[in-house]
Chain A
Amino acid sequence: MARAVVTMPAQAKRGEIVEIKTLAQHPMETGFRRTQTGELIPRDIIRRFTCTYNGVEVYRADLHPAIAANPLISFTTVASESGALTFQWTGDNSYTVTEIAPIRVE
């Protein structure tokens, strides 16, 4: 079920700022909604998103229930060396999704 999509250029010039768009499939249940019979629906959200570039963390976001379902996060990073970017989403109910995207830097 758990799926995530990352959109970014596969190659870049050294020092270029690349734009990265990430989308995770997740309901982001707030924990404030109730069912028709009045029971509280337990919270189920993604708590943290991290992006590491060849093992070094370059971007980290702490998410709260106010983030809409299927969180879309877009940001930038400097293309410094060839290698791989690792994206990880972690959250409630031991939700973990990891995506790896290679990048070639000339």
Chain B
Amino acid sequence: MTTRREFLVLAATSLAVPEAARAQLDPNLAANRKAAFQEALHGIVGDTQVRRGRVKLQLPPLIDNGNSVPFSVVVESPMTEADYVRAIHVLTEKNPLPDVVSVRLSPRAGRATLSTRVRLADTQTVTAIAQMSDGSFWSDSAEVVVTLSACLEEGLI
């Protein structure tokens, strides 16, 4: 419940400092996020070609609450000393930061899997990239519809 005093303080500060509002209405937001995604992708794979397949990203297609979305990545690999998955990276397209998680693996993992929970800011595509021990990159993407964004909720402090 916002009291009258809190409301007045809030109204005064939001008129005086519209910086937060400007950040929200940045007309280049989409382009900036796309560039950030490409940069993050380049940082991981360099100039190597990323191929589709071998990676399976499981994510619910429709999400009510973007604050906590369970997902898992499974990579097809024998996980032997000769052929194993070195790393799994997960990236998002429209979150404020594209990186979600990066995992380093060794043959001792037994299976190349990762499962955790992500925050999603918007309806978007999530990409999982696996780096194999031979240096090749494989990927999978999943489209997600988010009805409630993770970034709308205000802090309560």
Residues of A within 8 A of B (CB): 17-18, 30, 32-38, 41, 53, 56-69, 71-78, 80
Contacts and interface: CB of A to CB of B under 8 A. Distances in A.
B142 interface: no
Given A17-B111, A30-B151, 15 more contacts: A17-B110, A33-B151, A33-B153, A34-B155, A36-B6, A37-B10, A38-B17, A38-B20, A59-B105, A65-B96, A65-B97, A69-B68, A72-B70, A73-B115, A74-B113
Interface residues of B, number: 44
B9 interface: yes
A68 B113 CA distance: 18
Interface in B77-117: 92, 95-97, 99-111, 113-117
B8 to A, nearest CB: 11
Contacts of A36: 2, 6, 10, 154-155
Contacts of A75: 103, 109, 113-115
